[in-house]
Amino acid sequence: MKIDVFGSYLQSQAAFPEKAREPQLAITISREVGAGGRTIAELVGQRLAVAEKTPASSTWAVFDANLAKQVLEDHKLPPNLERFMTEDARLPVEAIVEEVLRLHPSGWTLVQHTTKTILRLAGLGHVIVVGRGANVITACLPNVFHVRLVAPLAMRIRHTAEYHQLNETEAAKFVREQDQARRRYVRRYFNAEIDDPTLYDVTLNTGRFGFGRAAEVIAQLALHHHAFAERERAIVPIPSSGLSG
Distance CA 47, CA 219 (A): 7
The 10 Å Cβ neighbour count of residue 87 is 19
SS3 15: coil
Identify the pLDDT of residue 69. Answer: 85
Band of pLDDT at residue 230, cut at 50, 70 and 90 = confident
pLDDT digits (tens, 9 = 90+) for 62-95: 998 888 888 888 888 877 777 777 777 665 445 5
Least confident of 42-51, 117-126, 178-187, 234-243: 234-243
Provide the mean pLDDT of the chain: 81
Buried/exposed 205-234: b ≥16 CB within 10 Å, e otherwise: ebbebebeebbbbbbebbbebbeebeeeee
Residue 122 has pLDDT above 60, yes or no: yes
Q: Which helix (H) or strand (E) holds 63?
A: strand 61-63
Could you tell me the fold of the domain covering 3-8+21-228? Rossmann fold (3.40.50)
Residue 116 has pLDDT above 70, yes or no: yes
Q: Which helix (H) or strand (E) holds 203?
A: strand 202-205
Residue 27 has pLDDT above 70, yes or no: yes
pLDDT digits (tens, 9 = 90+) for 176-229: 999 999 999 999 899 999 999 999 999 999 999 999 999 999 999 999 988 887
Query: Do 81 and 98 meet the contact criterion of CB atoms below 8 Å apart?
Result: no
Domain boundaries along the sequence of the chain: 3-8+21-228
